[in-house]
A and B are shown apart, each in its own frame.
Chain A
């Protein structure tokens, strides 16, 4: 795999990228393990195969930078620093979950880490990120907003309306399109006449880039430029990352058996596994060795096992919680 590495990426960051990718991968694999027990009663949209994108982008982000994600949210949240335990407890419908059991897998939230919530309405988060970028600008901070969304979302009007507004107002927002070539089971060519989402940016005077979505260092370098543009007040950037999801649209299974897509296409992409390619790159460049990767993986596994155990041990909400948090109650005294 061609990896466009800039020599100056600090080793610590290169290792952090690996850790994030392994964390996302193992997190989803844990879900695959526990899901058949049917205790995790929420639809899961797994991120396996797309980890390089969240890692390469989020590693640049500060705590006060904001992200908006989609139904396929797990990877983004983990990469932005969210606790696996808060996510898993949420998926188990526990009151200890990040949304107190109200949201499930499609709506994680962690305001302290710049995750203001997640929309499962396709395209919903794109405008919200533009709004967060507007707030950052109005508040005169140099924080930025990132919105992750799929190839499918770029056909929604909200995508175009958001790009137009963000460009006009030069807002600090990065549009990260994860083009996995499918929306549910619908291939990109059935929905889009032209396979070049990045080019749509030009219509709104926004720089648009297309990049290998499995190349974590390439994404890292591009995201660095996009972040700089945002923080320096130069406006938005659109990044189209070309990747592939390994599992079905929703749930822990593969979907080629059901005729949703060709098996050899999946196998080709599995060959291009972003985690494997990056591990090999790091080993080849003497930045880590196989034993260290193994150790890192087992540390992550231990952390995830504990998170899982503690998530499963969490209490369920009480029935009265059904009626709580419908409306914000102002606590301000005037």
Chain B
């Protein structure tokens, strides 16, 4: 396991974001680095951890079926047997409790949910039990469980099959939240989560499952709470979450041509949050935008913006902006879905408003209002 691997090297293939296999192969692939997809990275992390540690087991609805949770558990049932890759009844809250109990008693369960929308079924056991146990018992009993869930929908899946609820979990002391955007991070963070000893919500984005990136073959761990700079820049900081990292990178490319130098930060976990990385960046750029794959109100962006205001407000040259889903349930209709999911265009427009704020001072409140929309 090469911990601290990231700090040691200067050229950092693991911070690189590749939009597709071609981009990977034209770059890192040519240097002889191994590229696998996000979905393969998750599967590999689970396989290697199950080989290494017999306490690790997977459970969830359909983990052993031919689809294998979008391919992230394919073949693991054959490899480890039904006892360690366990299909379960549709009984989320109860099974969550079972998994938590197993964790308290010395196992390391990975409970998988095809969609994050099913987690509300498990809230009692996660919020009132897993999150509280270590503290409530004065540190006597910890709960080393990883709860994987998948966000990112489309094709008219509508309101009950496309929610991204990561912010809810950040509100609960005792829970950690990891939200990787790249294959490298998916593997490293999943291993980090399994070794963490705490209940960790592990949030995957379905739209990036096929994205390919550099992933070392060996076991390596990314500790929770360490963000990464995806692209350095001077003019504005974008904190981009999950799939928004890719949209932010696209936006940065477009804006570079217009002379705006964007810094893209991927926090990778939301709790703990690498606030120092964000503060340092904001001190340099003086501008901040947070792009998230969830609704705005009470979201992670609000927390990040507030922390920046609490700590480095004097460096901000313009109001903070956010790019989010609108505060409405996800609609089915393709025309509404199209308008619902933000893209690099929304990031570009928002950045221009923030940057121009300083340049045309005449109506601050109006600008602020525009940014807040």
Please measure, in the bound complex, the distance between the C-alpha atom of A331 and the C-alpha atom of B2, giving whole angstroms.
Answer: 64
With beta carbons under 8 angstroms apart, the residue of A106, A122, A157 that contacts B158 is A106
Interface centre among A103, A105, A107, A123 (most CB of B within 10 A): A103
Say yes or no: A322-B61 contact (C-beta < 8 A), given A104-B158, A106-B158.
Answer: no
B217-244 interface bits toward A, Cβ cutoff 8 Å, 1 = contact, 0 = none: 0000000000000000000000000000
Is A194 on the interface with B (CB-CB < 8 A)?
no
Rounded to whole Å, the gap between the CB of A304 and the closest CB of chain B is 21
Most B CB contacts (10 A, CB to CB) among A157, A186, A260 go to A186
Q: Does B53 contact A (CB under 8 A)?
A: no
Residue pair A191, B90 in contact (C-beta under 8 Å)? yes
In the assembled complex, A218 has its CB within 8 A of some CB on chain B: no
Contact in complex: A94, B333 (CB < 8 Å): yes
In the complex, identify which listed stretch (A135-143, A166-174, A222-230, A313-321) lies at the interface while the others stay far away: A313-321
CB pair A43 B327 closer than 8 Å: no
Task: State whether the Cβ of B280 lies closer than 8 Å to any Cβ in chain A.
Answer: no
Minimal Cβ-Cβ distance residue in B for A122: B90
In the complex, chain B residues whose CB is within 8 Å of the CB of A185: 62, 65-67
Q: How far is the CA of A94 from the CA of B331 in the complex (A)?
A: 11
* CB of B129, distance to nearest CB on chain A (Å): 15
Determine if B66 and A259 form an interchain contact, defined as CB atoms under 8 angstroms apart.
Answer: yes
CB neighbours of B327 from chain A (8 A): 326
Q: B12: which A residues are within 8 A, CB to CB? A: none
Interface membership of B339, Cβ < 8 A = yes
Closest partner residue, chain A, to B92 (CB atom):
A156
Query: Of the candidates B93, B329, B331, which one forms a contact with A101 in the assembled complex, judged by CB atoms under 8 Å apart?
Result: B331
Interface residue B155 (Cβ < 8 Å from any Cβ of A): yes
Provide the residues of chain A in CB contact with B89, threshold 8 Å: 152, 155, 183, 191-192
Does A93 contact B328, Cβ atoms closer than 8 Å?
no
B61, B326, B331: most-surrounded residue (chain A CB, <10 A): B331
With known contacts A42-B332, A94-B333, A184-B65, A191–B87 Cβ distance under 8 A: yes
Also in contact, A42 and B87, with CB within 8 A (given A260-B65, A322-B328): no
Q: Does A119 contact B (CB under 8 A)?
A: yes
A183 adjacent to B335 (CB under 8 Å): no
The interface residues of chain B, by DSSP majority, are classed as loop
* Chain B, 89-137, CB within 8 A of any chain A CB: 89-94, 117-118, 121
In the complex formed, the residue of B with least CB distance to A100 is B333
* Given A152-B90, A153-B90, A259-B66; A102-B335 close (CB under 8 Å): no
Is A323 on the interface with B (CB-CB < 8 A)?
Answer: yes
Q: Is the CB of A157 within 8 A of B326?
A: no
Q: Quick one: closest B residue to A188, CB to CB?
A: B89
Known: A93-B334, A104-B156, A260-B65. A156 touches B91 (CB 8 A): yes
| Nearest chain B residue, comparing its CB with the CB of A323 | B328
Question: Is B160 part of the contact surface with A, judged by Cβ < 8 Å?
Answer: yes
Q: Is A41 an interface residue (CB 8 A)?
A: yes
Q: Which of A42, A122, A186 contacts B156 (CB 8 A)?
A: A42
Interface pair A322/B326, CB less than 8 Å apart: yes
- The answer to whether B331 and A186 touch across the interface, beta carbons within 8 angstroms, is no
A72, chain B: closest CB distance, angstroms: 14
Convert B154-189 into 0s and 1s, putting 1 for each residue whose CB lies closer than 8 angstroms to a CB of A.
Answer: 011111110000000000000000000000000000
A186 touches B336 (CB 8 A): no
Please name all residues of chain B whose beta carbon is closer than 8 Å to the beta carbon of A104 when the two chains form the complex.
Answer: 156-158, 332-333
**Contact of A260 with B328 in the complex, beta carbons under 8 Å:** no
Residues of chain A with a CB closer than 8 A to B336's CB:
93, 101-102, 317, 319, 321-322
A37: CB under 8 A from chain B?
no
A41 touches B90 (CB 8 A): no
Contact pick for B339, options A93, A152, A155, A322, CB 8 Å: A322
Q: Tell me whether B340 is interfacial, beta carbon within 8 Å.
A: yes
A134 within 8 A of B: no
Give 1 or 0 for each of B312-348: 1 = CB within 8 Å of chain A CB: 0000000000000011110111111101100000000
Interface size on B, residues (CB 8 A): 36
Question: Chain A nearest CB: distance from B80 CB in Å?
Answer: 16
Known: A157-B93, A184-B62. A322 touches B331 (CB 8 A): yes
Q: Given A152-B89, A317-B335, A319-B339, check contact A42 B329 (CB 8 Å).
A: no
Q: Does A332 contact B (CB under 8 A)?
A: no
Q: Is B306 an interface residue (CB 8 A)?
A: no
Q: Is A258 in contact with chain B by the CB < 8 A criterion?
A: yes
Whether A120 sits at the interface, judged by CB under 8 Å, is: yes
Q: Are A120 and B93 in contact (CB under 8 A)?
A: no
Query: Residue-by-residue, is B40-73 near A (CB-CB < 8 Å gives 1, otherwise 0)?
Result: 0000000000000000000001100111000000
Q: Which residues of B contact A317 (CB under 8 A)?
A: 331, 333, 335-336
Cβ–Cβ contact B158 & A186, under 8 A: no
Complex Cα distance, B155 from A325, in Å, reads 21
Is A291 part of the binding interface, using a Cβ–Cβ cutoff of 8 Å?
A: no
Complex contact A120–B160 (CB within 8 A) = yes
> How far is B334's CA from A95's CA once the two chains are assembled, in angstroms?
11
A260 and B66 contacting across the interface, CB-CB below 8 Å: yes
Q: A43-B156, A119-B160, A121-B160 are in contact. Are A319 and B65 (CB under 8 A)?
A: no
Query: Which residues of the other chain, A, contact B161 by a CB distance below 8 angstroms?
Result: 43, 106, 120
Asked whether any CB of chain A lies closer than 8 Å to the CB of B256, the reply is no
Indicate which residue in B62, B90, B117, B332 contacts A99 across the interface (CB closer than 8 Å): B332
Which of A235-288 touch B at CB < 8 Å? Answer: 258-260
Using known A-B contacts A185-B66, A186-B62, determine if residue A322 contacts B90 with beta carbons closer than 8 Å.
Answer: no
Q: How far is the CA of A323 from the CA of B117 in the complex (A)?
A: 21
19 further A-B pairs in the complex, CB-CB below 8 A; given A183-B89, A260-B65: A41-B334, A42-B155, A43-B156, A93-B335, A101-B332, A102-B159, A120-B161, A121-B121, A123-B90, A153-B90, A157-B91, A185-B66, A186-B61, A186-B65, A191-B89, A260-B66, A317-B335, A319-B336, A326-B328
13 example contacts (A-B, Cβ-Cβ < 8 A) are as follows: A41-B334, A90-B332, A102-B333, A105-B156, A123-B90, A156-B91, A184-B65, A186-B61, A190-B87, A191-B87, A321-B331, A322-B336, A322-B340
**Chain B interface (Cβ < 8 Å from any Cβ of A):** 61-62, 65-67, 87-94, 117-118, 121, 155-161, 326-329, 331-337, 339-340
- In order of increasing CB-CB distance, the 10 nearest A-B pairs are A93-B333, A104-B332, A42-B156, A101-B333, A155-B89, A185-B65, A191-B89, A104-B156, A316-B335, A41-B156
